[in-house]
A and B are shown apart, each in its own frame.
Chain A
Amino acid sequence: MQRLQLNDPIVLSSMIVMILKIENLNHSYNNKNKSVLTDINFSVKQGESVVIIGSSGCGKSTLLKSINRLVEPVSGNIFVDGENILDCGLKKAYNIRGKIGMIFQNFNLIGRSTVLDNVLNGRLRFNKNFNTLLRRFSADDYRIVRESLRKVGLENYESSNVDDLSGGQKQRVAIARTLAQEPKIILADEPVSNLDPKLMKETMDLLKKICEDNNMTLISSLHFLEFAKRYGTRIIGICDGKIVFDGNPDDLTDKDIVDIYGKTEEWDLYGRTGF
């Protein structure tokens, strides 16, 4: 009998962990006739960097928010690290949600409070309600928060008020908050839309490096095609709530781009000719 070797492709493929699996996901908002997501199916491997592209209103944000159940989809299954977040109680959902960090377009930080206080929110899932009421966090929580701030280069800003920071610094605080959560997946909903081109690149470089260093899965939605190609190991194109492309960035053809963005004069705006 042939003995399987560790470097055997069959063994390697069986060792790849699917951190996220989405099955038959459908969603529509109040107007039930208009479907926002239609029959979404895909799986994501541990450590993969998936970029979701599509024009505004195509369902990118809804898809990302469905993954951590910030949006309650109408039907389907979402398995995060083997557990179905859509088919479990509230407490279990908090637990699964804790494994998924999220970065938002508008940073979503608590104003009038310090950087440290904002990043500490990433440790809430490890803290008891009573301790949270007393604003008490463990020494371990503080150590992890400070380590997260160091990773994003804000170790000297922990007592600064977040309102006094620049847009790029605010997004780095949001990234640190997500890191403090020790997630397996990071969802980034248009994380650089509110930043200037230089900060866009810096922020995406930082996010990519952090995910690579920590073997985290990054699923981000981006508007610009060249950014998507540069930072994604895989691209998922969505048009009117349906997946119209799923593959390697190099496999993205002009026809696929037309399928995703519609008319050519529109997709030129998204950086077809390079960023």
Chain B
Amino acid sequence: MIFTVRPRNGIFMVELDFKLKRVWNKYKKFFIGLVVVLIYYWALGGTDVSIFNFIDGIPHMINFILRMFPPDFTNIGKFLLKTIETLQMAIIGSTIGALVALPLSFLAARNVMPNKIIYNSVRGIFDIFRGINEIVWGLIFVSMVGLGPFPGVLALSVHVTGALGRYFSEAIETVDPEIIKAIVSTGASKTQTVVRGIIPQVKPSFINYILYYLENNFRSATVLGLVGAGGIGMELLTSMRLFRSNEVLTILIIMVSMVLIIDKCSAYIRKNVINIEVVG
């Protein structure tokens, strides 16, 4: 018998048979492994992933890469200007997003906002903003304000507001309540407690998230160009469509260099502003 019915506290409870429990304990790892394998089999089946197709495609990829050399620097001035535009989009988009997310995140932190309606509403807005990809926001804003970097800035701002808002509020929820008690015990008001008790605790995380999103937004801003939202992405798309592989390489070199420069700047800020030492 698999199930037994036994009275407990006056109520008849259905319990898994002891033998079945023993079997489960013995083969638990096997069953879990089987389920994991089945999930991957199902996911791979739906995506046409094939190692043979990949190997067959390697000569095409090598051919494509070889056609890119040598890089064509004829239009480098124009590309650099467009890269600067992309960087400007990333900076403005990240700044607007962070400025909007900062006050809203306090409304979406359970330890600061006791009102569940406000808390859930703001969290919901954050989820919608970050749940929709920047490219989709880009398409929406291109149809709203036309082509150019402005819809790109709007798309990045909205997405960053959602993402940073969520991360900021989670950081606020993890502050040490004992430190807050110490500030409250001095007779500080709620505003003072937030400014002197919560913000100093979350500041390193906030700076880290903003820098991460600045780096991320430069890459996203590049992709946004593909949907007509300005920047170097539009140039990349044009060169690819016209099969100017040598120009594509030039643009990729500029983009990678820019990502490395931003990465170095972020590391410098992290080290000197929030005193995070790089291990190793």
Contacts and interface: CB of A to CB of B under 8 A. Distances in A.
B55 to A, nearest CB: 52
Given A110-B201, A112-B275, A121 B183 contact: yes
B189 interface: yes
B191 A129 contact: yes
B178 A112 contact: no
B181 interface: yes
Given A108-B181, A112-B275, A132-B195, A122 B200 contact: no
B184 interface: yes
B179 interface: yes
Given A97-B184, A102-B185, A112-B204, A133 B179 contact: no
A122 B196 CA distance: 11
B178, B187, B189, B200: which has the most chain A beta carbons within 10 Å? B187
Contacts of B36: none
A261 B181 CA distance: 29
B115 interface: no
A68 B183 CA distance: 12
Given A112-B204, A112-B275, A132-B191, A125 B178 contact: no
Contacts of B189: 91, 94, 124, 129
A66 B183 CA distance: 16
A124 B186 contact: yes
B185 A124 contact: no
A87 B277 CA distance: 50
A100 interface: yes
A106 B197 contact: no
Contacts of A65: 181
Nearest to B182: A108
B197 A110 contact: yes
B186 A109 contact: no
Contacts of B176: 108
A170 to B, nearest CB: 12
B136 interface: no
B192 interface: yes
B16 interface: no
A23 B191 CA distance: 32
B240 interface: no
A70 B188 contact: no
Contacts of A99: 187
B194 to A, nearest CB: 9
- Chain B: interface size category: 20 to 34
B179, B191, B201, B274: which has the most chain A beta carbons within 10 Å? B179
A132 B200 CA distance: 13
B198 to A, nearest CB: 10
Contacts of A110: 179, 196-197, 200-201
Contacts of A94: 187-189
A49 B198 CA distance: 33
B185 A68 contact: yes
Interface in A48-70: 65, 68, 70
A179 to B, nearest CB: 11
Interface string A148-187: 0000000000000000000000000010010001000001
Interface in A96-132: 96-102, 104, 106, 108-113, 117, 121-122, 124-125, 127, 129, 132
A70 B183 CA distance: 11
Contact of A108 (B178, B188, B275): B178
B186 A125 contact: yes
A127 B192 contact: yes
Given A110-B197, A110-B201, A112-B200, A104 B181 contact: yes
Contacts of B197: 110, 121
A215 interface: no
A13 to B, nearest CB: 31
Nearest to B196: A121
Contacts of B185: 68, 70, 97, 100-102, 187
A230 B114 CA distance: 44
A95 interface: yes
Nearest to B187: A98
A121 B196 CA distance: 7
Contacts of A91: 189
A106 B177 CA distance: 12
A124 B196 contact: yes
Contacts of B182: 102, 104, 108-109, 121, 174, 177
A71 B146 CA distance: 57
Given A110-B197, A127-B192, A133-B191, A181 B204 contact: no
Given A102-B185, A113-B200, A108 B179 contact: yes
9 contacts: A68-B185, A97-B184, A108-B182, A110-B200, A112-B200, A121-B183, A122-B186, A125-B187, A177-B186
Interface of B: 176, 178-179, 181-189, 191-192, 195-197, 200-201, 203-204, 274-275
Given A102-B185, A177-B182, 5 more contacts: A101-B185, A102-B182, A112-B203, A124-B186, A132-B191
